[in-house]
Amino acid sequence: MLSFEETRRFVERALLDFELMDAFRFRPREERVQCLHWIADAADSRVEEDRVSYLLDASAHGEPLVPAQSRVLARIDRAHQ
């Protein structure tokens, strides 16, 4: 598992490689940060890679960067902190 900063750099590289950086930066800051945390919180490298793939696809198609179920779970987690 990567640290948050390592995840951020990895995601930036992927976005640049696929020419999707502008699509990502166009998103609200909160959504971008939530997405980076979602990727960084992956249980293992395979899940992390799947989440980066999801991010790339969502960025290319203008879809939410984090699946709805994950957004709900994050809100529940924050409420219990």
Residue burial 65-75, b: 16+ Cβ < 10 Å; e: rest: bbeeebbeeee
- Average pLDDT (21-27) is 96
Per-residue pLDDT of 48-76, as tens digits, reads: 999 999 999 999 999 999 887 665 444 44
Residue with tokens 């976005």: 15
Q: What is the pLDDT of residue 35?
A: 93
Q: What is the pLDDT of residue 76?
A: 42
Q: Collect all residues with Cβ–Cβ distance below 8 Å to 18 and sequence separation of at least 6.
A: 56, 60
For the chain, the straight-line distance linking the first and the last C-alpha, in angstroms and rounded, comes to 23
